[in-house]
A and B are shown apart, each in its own frame.
Chain A
Amino acid sequence: MIKLLEARNVGKRFGGLTALSEVSLTINKGEVYGLIGPNGAGKTTFFNVLTGAYIPDDGEFVFNGIELPVGKPHLVVEAGIARTFQNIRLFSQMSALENVMAGHHIRTKANIWGILTQNKHTREEERLTTERAYELLKYVGIERFADTICKNLSYGDQRRLEIARALATEPQLLALDEPAAGMNATETSQLKVLIEQIRRDGVTVLLIEHDVKLVMGLCDRLSVLDFGKKIAEDVPAVVQKNEAVINAYLGGGKHE
């Protein structure tokens, strides 16, 4: 198996609070990797550190054999990591199509001069961006809303749009932060189909999720975080039986 992403002893503290400490994990190419844990376990912090939104206090990330730049989100995206947010963050005044087109920004090159003169390269690039965005909307199944301002979309469609926008950056690793949050059973199962499709098309997926059924059904391997520490890492069936994990989730331990 080929390593895609390797986190080495990543740590992050906020003042006196240790949000992450010595988290190491390896994600292989082509798998769906889950990251679970109780609320406040540090999952989203891990995402933020990975994508450059936060600067880690310790450790580093190695992506495709190259160390990821620290605190430079746009370079992380350029390297091939895209993310979505736990609370949907779309560009509210733009249409669905334009949201996805904006996602293609990093893969396009037109500069001011090209835009002013509308030279051949710029026009061709603009056409390709539009077409590709539309294809991505089709891919996630919301192309009929291409011209709709995104805040008017339904919740589930907004989630899909956010995934389409992330895919527009042409990532090798797609990091989804609780994509099923707030979805009903039908929407969740549709989401599962979509994620499987994304994996089949060669994009590795890193998934934070609370929906245990979804995680167990979807992930090849997963890690469990608790209080910023990794307490388990394995295939779902093994993790499910891990005592530390059960304790973390059920808060159990000694019943006397």
Chain B
Amino acid sequence: MDQLAEAVPYLGKRNLKAARWVVIIIALVAPIIAMMFGRTWVRILDFALLYMMLALGLNLVVGFAGLLDLGYIAFYAVGAYTWAFLASPHFGVHWPFWAILPLGAGFAAMAGIILGFPVLRLRGDYLAIVTLGFGEIVRIFMNNLNYPVNITNGPQGINALDSMNLFGWDLARNLTIGDVQIHSLYLYYYFFLLCVAGSIMFIQRMQISRIGRAWAAMRDDELAAKAIGINTRNLKLLAFSLGATFGGVAGGLFGSFQGFVSPESFSLMESIAVLTMVVFGGMGNIAGAVVGALALTALPEILRNIAVPLQETLFGHVLLDPEVLRMLLLSLAMILMMLLRPGGLIPAHARYSRPELLGKGVRT
């Protein structure tokens, strides 16, 4: 929260309290403004929040603990499929959300540990390759586990997932209070917002703690971290499993929101997209992950809505498909970013301590 507030341009450095309110107000009114441009935009914001959660979780693994993970989307898949198995007509089970979400998170954490063990000794490029393989294995499993016993329904995916039902309150239905009707997309937005806010709080507390410092130490110099008594094995496993937990929760939310899961949502490109968000925003800091996720979810959509009409007025027909343009501009943005601002949009200004804890008497 404070890190987000500090990232607010101009205000963040001068008046933290005001900046904090700016962040809160933006977060609260964003969907209302988006609605003015059409329902799709609220939907995009909902997705942006899911991606924020993913980016926050991946940032914990890559940015804090320094473990390059290219298969992160696998945990998202585990969470989504947990939801699909336990809350859809596919198996005919319909569990409540408070049972499935923690279960999905738990399975994802377990997957994180399963991935973590074999890669404990690997770092950098080698780690990236193994995690990439892991992500693909999970996707291929989802794709092929429909024979001889149909578990995942293969490439067709699983349909008609239950929507999020908070103790009898269905988020997929519009809420009517008196004469006012609140659209389901808003309900999802605020529920996701709550989840993201919770994640941010949790991660921030982790960062400024003995565990956060140990991760940072491991990332900066593993040998020295060992030499001051940090058990790097346990901390790596913790980073993998905790990061995966966020992926698992986000996956469950995704399943319920989308109402449909299929293996193609969990391709390598998605892993790369989430990593790009983290890098684009600024590795190792919470605000970076949030801004990166928002920017990289919204920008392509804005582009889609601008590029086509613009080309039509300029050339009379569409020269470049928005999808092609998106890849082109995204790559260009990344290249420029690496050249001009290698630290990301919001370069890490990560703190791992609170010097204000020092009493006035101690500090002279």
Contact = CB atoms under 8 A, between A and B. Distances in A.
A166 interface: yes
Given A94-B217, A101-B352, A131-B362, A126 B223 contact: no
B284 interface: yes
A174 B96 CA distance: 56
Nearest to A103: B228
A127 B224 contact: no
Interface string A137-153: 00000000011000000
Contacts of A127: 357
B224 A89 contact: yes
Interface residues of B, number: 39
B205 interface: yes
A122 B348 CA distance: 26
Contacts of B223: 53, 85, 89
B357 A130 contact: yes
B353 A130 contact: yes
A10 interface: no
> Would you call the interface of chain A mostly helix, strand, loop, or mixed?
helix
B10 interface: no
A92 B221 contact: yes
B227 interface: yes
A128 to B, nearest CB: 9
B14 interface: no
Interface in A51-68: 51-53
A42 B265 CA distance: 55
A227 interface: no
Given A98-B352, A122-B209, A168 B357 contact: no
Interface string A88-99: 011111110110
Given A74-B230, A131-B357, A134-B363, A102 B221 contact: no
Nearest to A114: B209
A116 interface: yes
The 5 closest A-B pairs by CB, nearest first: A77-B229, A106-B229, A89-B224, A91-B220, A73-B226
Interface of A: 51-53, 73-74, 76-78, 82-83, 85, 89-95, 97-98, 101-106, 108, 110, 112, 115-116, 118, 122, 125-127, 129-131, 133-135, 146-147, 165-166, 168-169
